[in-house]
Amino acid sequence: MDASSIINIAASGHAKEIMAIVSEQVFVCSYVREKECLYLRSVDEDAVETIQLAEWQQAGILQDCELTALEEEQFLVYASQVDDGEAMSLAIARARGFTLITDDRKAQRLATSAGITLLTTPQIFHVWAAGQHPRTVSEVLRAVERRARYRPSEGDPLNAWWLSACDRRE
Amino acid sequence: MDNLLQQIDPRVLGQRLQNARKAAGLTQQQVADALGMARTTVVALEKGERLIAPHELIRFSSVCNRPVSELLSKKIITESFVPQFRATQHLDDEVERLTIKFQECAEDYAELESITGMPAPRMYPPVYETSGASPEQIGEDVAVAERARLGLGDGAASDLRDRLAIQVGIRIFYFEMPSKVAGLFAYNEPLGACIAINKNHPIDRQAWSLAHEYGHFLMSRYQPEVTVLFTNKRSAQRERLADAFAECFTMPATGLNRRITELQQSLPAGITLAHICELAGLYQVSVQALVKRLETLKRLPSGTWERLIAEGFKVRTAQKQLGIDPSSRQNERFPRHYVVLAIYAHRKGLISEGQFARFLRVDRLAARALLQSESYALHSEEELFAHYSSDLAQRLTGS
């Protein structure tokens, strides 16, 4: 799972519940864990707050993963095209046959061309939403828009669903 | 899979490693110790005499707190600014780090132009001749000629940063520097003319520094310059030229004389200090610079500024009383065109979110805020560039 998606899932306020439907094991690479500055707008939107990945790890939402020596060269190839966190996530997913969770278009394109299976947060929210009250879904997606400043692009197949779900409050 | 590191010129990579180390304030010995290698090995890596292994590069960047992607992703290859600056003046460690930071901004700008395929047009005048007269006279002559070339007339040169960026094609950055440094200028062929201004200085001082550095571009283009304040050394010839140019360019004699005459005619009781403060605001120069200029033009008695200071005149207090707030104007770190190119590249999927954030030197959330900012709320590619540069607009609207 790369940084772009972590921010979006964190903004939902339901990270543990939502990530549980993805897999029993979701990994975050060392660069994202240690070097990325991951923030959200606070609930009152007047400030920013840090996403505490250590708490996610303690809660069992995320597990650590390190780049191995065999993955270093592939990491460098990706690092010449995207940033370190994205490159490390791509290299690890490719080498280990993992699914990559990312909302970044360029990372998605590189993953697709390498045959890496992809998952996006709109896809994750879409699956999670099936068992939820529409008002809850609307509140969660609106929180993501507000706190993570994220909305799927117009080209995203789930853009129409997202907008519609945001508006449904009954 | 071919080894990527074998495809990169080791000298170029070595230079980047050295810059990363110096920017981190580390010695070769410190890096060698952290990596468990001999200092001579670090020397060889930085000189490009020894190929770096993938694990060494990853460790090296980690020790220097630099992303690996920063060392590998840049396609624009330029010689380091540091030796160029060193050839003309002494650089202490702090200023050397500043020149590295400056070069990184300029390289990132060129990189964005390369990624988007939209280089900014360069409309550079030839280097002006600077012999045969006093620096003050040459500065005046060049300022008059340059104002005419830019269509500035003899009024206040407002929005100078945008003008120089759009009409000349100069890359202008504002970032925090030690207080002793006012600005930097450098030029090389791949990057073009680049200026950096100390963002910590008062806004009127920043405007002066920009004109001063522009003077270096016009008159001594091939000599990079760090403008250091408060030096006791007698100013070098090119510093006097740049100062004279800045004075005449920001406060043209004809326009200023006309304004003073108009003020005198409309104010039989005489021009007050308040009028001078307001005029300084209009010209976006400091009150001190304006008073000194008016003394030179003999519109104020010689020694007026010294008398005002002796009497306890405080510029900021006067400005506050007059409702003038120079600090309300803010110079952003990067030029608008730089930000526009980054947004365009991200929207097209040419750069990732992480790269976008790195180009803008912000975290991801701030990067997303910028993408949603009303200031950059552009609705089409044509609109993205049409208002900014006539060249870029023609190309986009023509297709």
Q: Chain A residues with CB inside 8 Å of B1's CB?
A: 73-74, 77
| Interchain proximity A73–B3, CB inside 8 Å | yes
Compare all CA atoms of chain B with the CA of A81 and give the residue at the minimum distance. Answer: B73
What does the mean pLDDT of chain A come to? 92
CB distance from A47 to chain B under 8 Å? no
What is the rounded average pLDDT of the residues B17-35? Answer: 94
CA distance B258 to B155: 10
Of residues B72, B69, B118, the one with CA closest to residue B355: B69
pLDDT in tens, A23-72: 878 999 999 998 887 899 887 777 899 998 888 889 888 999 999 999 99
Cross-strand bridge partners of residue A50: A39
Instruction: Mark yes or no for CB contact B365/A7 under 8 Å.
Output: yes
Minimum CA–CA partner of A72 in chain B: B54
Please tell me if residue B320 touches chain A, with a CB cutoff of 8 Å.
Answer: no
For residue B262, the model assigns a pLDDT of 92
Where do the DSSP E strands lie in chain B?
Answer: 171-175, 181-188, 192-198, 225-228
pLDDT at B269: 83
Query: Would the pLDDT of B267 be above 90?
Result: no
Stretch B379-398: mean pLDDT, rounded? Answer: 42
Asked if pLDDT for residue B389 goes beyond 80, the answer is: no
Please give, rounded to a whole number of angstroms, the shortest distance from the CA of A39 to a CA of chain B.
6
Which pLDDT score is estimated for B220?
Answer: 93
Residue pLDDT, tens place only, A115-138: 999 999 999 999 999 989 999 999
For the stretch B209-251, pLDDT in tens is 999 999 999 999 998 889 888 665 556 888 899 999 999 999 9
Which pLDDT score, from 0 to 100, does residue B398 have? 31
CB atoms within 10 A of CB A142: 16
Mean of pLDDT values over B26-54: 95
Q: Tell me the average pLDDT across B249-265.
A: 93
Give the residue with greater pLDDT, B84 vs B177: B177
Q: Which of A105-114, B158-167, B255-264 has the highest mean pLDDT?
A: A105-114
Judged by CB atoms within 8 Å, which residues 77-96 of A form the interface with B?
77, 79-87
* Chain B residues whose beta carbon lies within 8 Å of the beta carbon of residue A109: 349
Q: Give the minimum alpha-carbon distance from A33 to chain B in angstroms, rounded to a whole number.
A: 14
Asked if A36 and B369 come within 8 Å (Cβ–Cβ), the reply is: no
Tens digit of each residue's pLDDT (9 = 90 or more) over B46-86: 999 999 999 999 999 999 999 999 999 777 777 778 777 88
The token duo for A163 is 């907008």
Provide the mean pLDDT of chain B.
87
Closest CA to B226 of B171, B190, B186, B173: B186
- A72 Cα to chain B: minimum distance (Å): 6
- Phi–psi pair at B116, nearest 5 degrees: -85, -15
CB burial string B129-149: b at 16+ within 10 A, e below: ebeeeebbebbbbbbbebbee
Taking the C-alpha atoms of residue A106 and residue B358, their distance in angstroms, rounded to an integer, is 15
Q: Is the dihedral of CA B158, B162, B164, B168 positive or negative?
A: negative
Q: Would you list the DSSP string of A111-162?
A: HHHTT--EE-HHHHHHHHHTTS-HHHHHHHHHHHHHHS-----TTSTTHHHH
Please state the ipTM of this predicted complex: 0.94
Q: How close B66 gets to chain A, by Cα (Å)?
A: 10
pLDDT at B320: 85
For the segment B306-311, the average pLDDT, to the nearest whole number, is: 92
**Does residue A142 register a pLDDT over 80?**
yes
What pLDDT, in 10s, does the model give residues B93-109? 888 889 989 999 999 99
% of chain B beyond a pLDDT of 70: 90
Chain B environment of A4 (Cβ under 8 Å) = 353-354, 364
pTM above 0.80, yes or no: yes
Whether residue A72 and residue B69 make contact (CB cut-off 8 A), yes or no, is no
Q: What's the CA gap between B112 and A137, in Å, rounded?
A: 39
pLDDT band for A22, please (50, 70, 90 cuts). Answer: confident
Read off the pLDDT band of B377 (50, 70, 90): low
Do A84 and B69 lie within an 8 Å CB cutoff? Answer: yes
Interface contact flag, B1 A74, Cβ < 8 Å: yes
pLDDT for B392: 37
State the DSSP H helix or E strand holding residue A65, giving kind and residue range, or none if neither.
Answer: strand A63-65
How far apart, in Å, are the Cα atoms of A51 and each of A16, A55, A56, A107, B156?
14, 9, 9, 22, 48
Contact A7 B357 (CB under 8 A): no
Among A109, A105, A82, which Cα is nearest to B347's? A105
**Closest-approach residue (CA) in chain A for B366:** A39
Q: Do A85 and B58 touch (CB under 8 A)?
A: no
For residue B171, the cross-strand partners are B194
Non-local (6+) Cβ contacts of B372 within 8 A are A149
Q: What tokens were used for B203?
A: 């806004």
Tell me whether residues A148 and B365 touch, CB distance under 8 A: yes
* Inter-chain touch B3–A72, beta carbons under 8 Å: no
CB contact under 8 A, B354 and A72: no
Cα–Cα distance measured from residue B3 to residue B17, given in angstroms and rounded to the nearest whole number: 18
Quickly state the pLDDT bin for B6 (edges 50, 70, 90): confident
